[in-house]
A and B are shown apart, each in its own frame.
Chain A
Amino acid sequence: MQFGVFSVSDITRDPVSGQTPSEAERIDAIVKIAQKTEEVGMDVFAIGEHHNPPFFSSAPTTLLSFIAATTQRLIVSTSTTLITTNDPVRIAEEYAMLQHLAKGRMDLMMGRGNTAPVYPWFGKEIRDSLPLALENYNLLHRLWREDVVDWEGKYRTPLQGFTSTPRPLDDVPPFVWHGSIRTPEIAEQAAYYGDGFFANNIFWPKEHYMRLIRFYRQRYAHYGHGTEQQAIVGLGGQAFIAKRSQDAINEFRPYFNEAPVYGHGPSMEDFMEATPLSVGSPQEVIDKTLTFREHFGDYQRQLFLMDHAGLPLKTVLNQLDLLGEEVVPVLRKEIAARQAPETPEPPTHAGLVKAKYGDAAPRQPRPNANRGDNVTGGSPYQDTAK
């Protein structure tokens, strides 16, 4: 089981101090948050992708490669990478590059994005959102697995003899999660390819996600990747922790009340009752998080939203101390004791290399010499037949 933190990259006014951080401050802060995630013993840091204020994360691979360079164990990931408005060719290239630089300590999560104006900014239509996501991912999947791709689809210029470079590290594509909260087609695609499925689990009651995860598990088994129990599931969660429950509630309430998305809506108590939000003592957060596997089945990755709604950096770092030192170690122990024996390990690059090659050496593609026209032809690498 992997534990970590995911961020939306919102730059939100702190409702207590009245201050709004600058973009520069918030970008510095997110690097510290990611580094802290590793320091307190957690495994994953994931960042969202947005192309408008008040968000800063328009270039996730740049941020994540910097974080990877300044950490040792942390897996960097996304929450999510827009598979709709990004060219799948650019995703293939950028994330393969990140994979090399991070020495495999990365994966990524596909998402459609819910900001309507983003589509026209990138020449797309939101009406096409779902087929765009599905077709783009079909292409991305091939770009990472075939040296040379001929491709024709509905939403992108055809490709003839295209090679996405660099080839994935050890010729093992990055692990992909598909994030969705309500779309069976996305769950189907995750299941078809044997990829992971992630439910952000934050804003809506659990019944909503239970249905989709159940469907994903059934289809994962249907496509022959393993049993339903062996499907790869990730969940989001949200917590605010203090030694004393009442302090957590008092300190978090002003942030809750003005939070983007659910602020000015339900009371914090109602929201806690209906959604996975935990505000309370470490034990209360542990107890609530332990219920997730009862609802969704044993899963591989738990990410917490810790830095949104204008919480200042100092508070967030303090929260990460509490999460990493008092909550996660207990969760690791308790979940290990309860987990069904055939529950798969969470995905890592090392695990994927092992699955592909066993004890043999991984493939290391070496290109043929440039023939002078920058078109490498049908077999661009030395180890494939001419």
Chain B
Amino acid sequence: MSTFKLVVVSAGTSTPSSTRLLADRVTQRLTALADRRGHEVTTTVVDLREIATEVTAALVSQLVGPKLRHAIEALAEADGIVASTPVYKAGASGLFTSFFQVLDNDLLIAKPVVLAATAGTARHALVVDEAMRSLFAYLRTTTVPTSLFASTEDWTDPALNKRVDRAALELLLLMESGFAHEVRETSWHSYQHEFGSAGGAEVSIDLDSDLMRLAAGGSAS
């Protein structure tokens, strides 16, 4: 019996938003599956629409506002993530990519992620695999095998539910395995970090480095 912290990041803009709806379906399935297997899931939703101005402020001035800080803290704690965006002009929403671009490179290392996108036409179906996966690969997350994509017609197709079930199970199994925790515990320092990165959590300083020796009057190698 474990309690898993799930964070849903949605870049949907309308209310109700189909982008958010798709993410919520994953959450519901995940919660039900987890319950059946004796776990509990607590969910935090980051609605990017509400923090859009802080995301752009961070992009242009590196200043992290209070709501963005809160979102970063939730992601730092997350055991699993559902990231959902509308497709605009053959790519993920600029708000969605901007949000993930202002995060520290090491914030999400190894964390399991379900990727989801919505669009008005099935022609955008490959955006999740072609565009979003590379962003999450850069962030060194563990994306689940099943990509979720829903265009208008998918909402009436039971096949979507099947894919949602699959993605939810994949996410749950990755969370259960403890993969991300194990990776972060065992080899955190073999990834690149900066002082104060990982949302401010990375504050260890290696005193036994060439640069530190140079700082203390030594010679450059």
Contacts and interface: CB of A to CB of B under 8 A. Distances in A.
Interface of A: 130-131, 134-135, 138, 141, 153-155, 182-186, 188-189, 192-193, 203-205, 207-208, 211-212, 215, 261-267, 270-271, 273-275
A153 B211 contact: no
B215 A134 contact: yes
- Interface residues of chain A: helix, strand, loop or mixed (majority): helix
A273 B217 CA distance: 40
Given A155-B220, A182-B194, A212-B195, A135 B63 contact: no
B61 interface: yes
Given A263-B61, A264-B60, A265-B61, 19 more contacts: A130-B211, A131-B211, A134-B214, A134-B220, A135-B219, A138-B214, A138-B217, A182-B195, A183-B195, A184-B195, A184-B205, A203-B61, A203-B63, A211-B195, A265-B56, A266-B61, A266-B65, A270-B65, A271-B63
A192 B217 contact: yes
Nearest to A128: B220
Interface residues of B, number: 28
Contact of A153 (B56, B63, B215, B219): B219
Given A262-B61, A266-B57, A266-B61, A135 B205 contact: no
Nearest to A183: B195
A270 B63 contact: yes
Nearest to B219: A153
Interface of B: 53-54, 56-57, 60-66, 194-196, 200, 203, 205, 207, 211-212, 214-221
Contacts of B62: 203-204
Top 3 nearest A-B pairs (CB, nearest first) are A265-B61, A154-B220, A189-B215
Given A182-B194, A182-B195, A266 B63 contact: yes
A215 B65 CA distance: 25
A134 B60 CA distance: 30
A270 B65 CA distance: 7
B70 to A, nearest CB: 13
7 contacts: A154-B219, A154-B220, A192-B215, A208-B200, A211-B203, A270-B65, A274-B63
Contacts of A182: 194-196
Interface centre among B53, B57, B60, B195 (most CB of A within 10 A): B195
A139 B82 CA distance: 53
Nearest to B214: A134
A203 B207 CA distance: 27
A182 B214 CA distance: 17
Interface centre among A184, A186, A205 (most CB of B within 10 A): A184
B63 A185 contact: no
Contacts of B60: 264-265
A155 B56 CA distance: 39
